[in-house]
Amino acid sequence: MSRLVRLGLIGATAAAEGLLHAFDAWRQSVTIGADITATDFRQASLFVRRFDLGLRAPDALHAAVCRRRDDILVTLDKRLVAAARALDARVASPG
């Protein structure tokens, strides 16, 4: 939403009071938060060093957390789907 505000496509007030509020409500009702540990950062560092996976650091961190917790990583990113499968992480792609 920051990008949309910067581009002038939506106003800051609309983003803060409307869209972010709706997003936060959805997130609280549908998702489960997960703490990130030092081990997750170390594992993600190993994942990004596997150049065959083509992972960026945030994606590697998501994969590491999901794999540790045995959560399902849900993504539309085909590269992340392939990498998660290669890392034996559970993954779903709704697209």
**How many structural domains does the chain have?**
2
Whether 27 and 64 map to the same domain: the answer is no
Question: Which of 34, 32, 65, 33 has its CA nearest to residue 47?
Answer: 65
Domain residues for the domain of 74 are: 38-92
Answer yes or no: do 82 and 67 share one domain.
yes
**pLDDT tens digits for 32-89?**
889 999 999 999 999 999 999 999 999 999 999 999 999 999 999 999 999 999 999 9
* Dihedral, 76, 78, 83, 88 alpha carbons, nearest 10: 60
For 3-33, write each residue's pLDDT tens digit: 888 898 888 887 778 888 888 899 899 888 8
Whether 17 and 62 map to the same domain: the answer is no
- In this structure, the answer to whether residues 45 and 24 fall within a common structural domain is no
Amino acid at 8: G
Same domain, 60 and 78: yes
Among residues 56, 40, 55, 58, the alpha carbon closest in space to that of 85 is found at 55
What residues pair up with 92 in beta bridges, in sequence order?
74
Examine the domain organization and report whether 84 and 49 are in the same domain. yes
Neighbours of 39 (CB within 10 A): 11
